[in-house]
């Protein structure tokens, strides 16, 4: 899923890419005007907002990345 699709589905109002000495992250204003952040993958630091996809980790954390990831295999435990 692209970052834009993910944010639209979450009814986000605004996204800003913030960069600093320790890398980049996204600052997102949600539908209720609360601000939350999303990390940007280490190898995707130079990407543009429109180019990002979203990877959801096992713990539910969304990560913005330029790479495309697909579920290859899954097993219920």
Q: What are phi and psi of 24, to 5 degrees?
A: -115, 155
pLDDT of residue 25: 97
Within-domain flag for 45: yes
Please tell me the total count of domains within the chain: 1
Average pLDDT over residues 59-75: 86
Within-domain flag for 27: yes
Within-domain flag for 75: no
Range of the domain at 60: 3-65
Within-domain flag for 72: no
With H, G, I as helix, E, B as strand and everything else as coil, classify residue 40: strand
> CA gyration radius for the chain?
13
Within-domain flag for 53: yes
Q: 68 or 45, which is more confident?
A: 45
Average pLDDT, the chain: 93
Within-domain flag for 29: yes
Q: 32 or 73, which is more confident?
A: 32
Average pLDDT over residues 52-63: 94
Which residues are CB-neighbours of 2 under 8 A, at least 6 positions away? 52, 53, 54
pTM recorded for the entire structure: 0.84
Cα 30 from Cα 11, distance rounded (Å): 7
Average pLDDT over residues 11-35: 96
């Amino acid at each position: 899923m692209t970052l834009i699709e993910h944010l639209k589905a979450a009814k986000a109002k605004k996204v800003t890419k913030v960069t600093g000495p320790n890398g980049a992250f996204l600052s997102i204003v949600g539908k209720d005007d609360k601000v939350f952040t999303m990390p940007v993958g280490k190898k995707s630091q130079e990407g543009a907002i429109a180019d990002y996809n979203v990877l959801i980790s096992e713990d539910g954390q969304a990560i913005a990345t330029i790479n495309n990831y697909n579920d290859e295999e899954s097993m219920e435990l």
